[in-house]
Amino acid sequence: MAKLAIPGTRVRGSKTGRPIMASLDLLGRRWTLRIIWELRDGPLNFRALQLACGGISPTVLNERIKELRQALIIGLEDRDGYQLTSLGLQLRDALGPLTEWSARWAAALAAR
C-alpha cells in the first residue's frame, strides 16, 4: 500500500503524514471522541457541550474544539452552537460499527 501524505499537514505524534495515522492521533486525544459523541444528535453551545461531557475543563474543551474545527470535523453556527460537519457526520457513521461491537464485547465480558 502506498503512503498517502496530507500536503501541508503537521499532526502532533504523526510524522508520516498518512491520513490514518493523523486521524488516529486526533481521535486518540483525551476528550475528542466524547465531544464527537455528544454532538452526534445535533448542535450544542459551549456550556451545554461542557455539561454533556462532564468533567472537562473549559481550557481543554476550547483546545479540542479548536483542533476539531481545524480538522473540519465540527463547525460553529452562531445561532445553534457547535455541530458536526459533513465530514464529522461521516465519522459518526463510520464509528457506528465500533459502537455495535463494543456492546457485544461488553455483553461477552459480563457473561463470562
Residue range 47-61, pLDDT digits in tens? 999 999 998 999 999
Please give the pLDDT value at position 2. 41
Grid look-up 457526520 returns 89
CA distance 48 to 37: 13
Neighbours of 106 (CB within 10 A): 10
pTM: 0.81
**CATH code 1.20.1250.20 for 19-111:** no
Q: Burial code of 89-101, b = ≥16 C-beta within 10 A, e = fewer?
A: eebbeebeeeeee
pLDDT at res. 57: 97
CA angle 83, 88, 93 (to 5 degrees): 120
What are the boundaries of each domain within the chain? 19-111
